[in-house]
């Protein structure tokens, strides 16, 4: 069954992940979108592009490599088939910086709070 990928939006309607993708060069955008489509359409996407983040109870990481750049899109599941992309960044270190994880956690909490109390 195909998964649905949604972009987190702030209370004012801004999409940080959408803005991040839009700000990349055209070929990088295409690679990111193709990777998301593969995750959407595959029951068990390869671990090299989509896996649960170690050290977090429920965050998942989309991995995109384009040329020498490495992009990460952090996400979580809302139910079993909906993936919410909360944060995106260009990775420059081996380990994901804790501030990037914290941003994803904060946006997840905001999403869930507003989902329950619109």
**Residue 107 predicted with pLDDT over 90:** yes
Quote the domain boundaries for residue 109: 4-116
> How many domains does the chain contain in total?
1
Of 81, 86, 93, give the one whose Cα is nearest residue 108: 86
Is residue 71 packed enough to be buried (19+ CB in 10 Å), middle (13-18) or exposed (0-12)? buried
Residue 34, domain CATH = 3.30.2310.20
More confident residue, 88 or 54: 88
Kindly indicate the confidence band of residue 118, based on its pLDDT and cuts at 50, 70 and 90. Answer: low
pTM score: 0.92
C-alpha triplet 26, 20, 75: angle, nearest 5° = 120
Q: What is the mean pLDDT of the chain?
A: 93
Kindly indicate the confidence band of residue 117, based on its pLDDT and cuts at 50, 70 and 90. Answer: low
Q: Mean pLDDT over residues 34-52, rounded?
A: 94
């Amino acid at each position: 069954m195909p998964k649905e990928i949604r972009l987190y939006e702030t209370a004012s309607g801004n999409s940080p992940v959408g803005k991040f993708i839009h700000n990349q060069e055209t070929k990088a955008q295409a690679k990111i979108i193709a990777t998301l489509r593969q995750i959407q359409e595959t029951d068990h996407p390869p671990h090299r592009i989509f896996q649960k983040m170690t050290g977090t109870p429920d965050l998942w990481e989309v991995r995109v490599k384009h040329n020498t750049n490495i992009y990460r899109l952090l996400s979580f599941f809302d139910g079993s088939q909906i993936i919410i992309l909360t944060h995106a960044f260009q990775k420059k270190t081996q380990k994901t910086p804790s501030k990037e994880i914290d941003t994803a956690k904060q946006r997840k909490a905001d999403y869930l709070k507003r989902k329950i109390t619109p």
